[in-house]
Amino acid sequence: MASYKVKPSKPFAVFGALVGVAMLVFVFAKGLGRDSGFLWLWAAVCVGIVGFNLWAAFSKRGASEVVERQTTE
């Protein structure tokens, strides 16, 4: 069974990381959900987005998914 790694292009992954940073800055600047746990949930999601996109952009094994192809016999 052959498998192929699929990864986003480097510019698209860096763009996704920049969007994640912008979302993080926005929520901290506006103070949305400061009285509840929403702020920290939002921050954790944004950090995950940034980390995943930077990993996909700069890691040699940074595939966002693996596609397997079955060989017919």
Q: How far apart are CA 31 and CA 1, in angstroms?
A: 50
3-state secondary structure of 68: strand
State the pTM of this model. 0.73
pLDDT, tens digit (0-9, with 9 covering 90-100), for 42-56: 889 999 999 999 988
What single DSSP character describes residue 36? S
pLDDT, tens digit (0-9, with 9 covering 90-100), for 7-31: 778 888 899 999 999 999 988 887 7
What single DSSP character describes residue 60? T
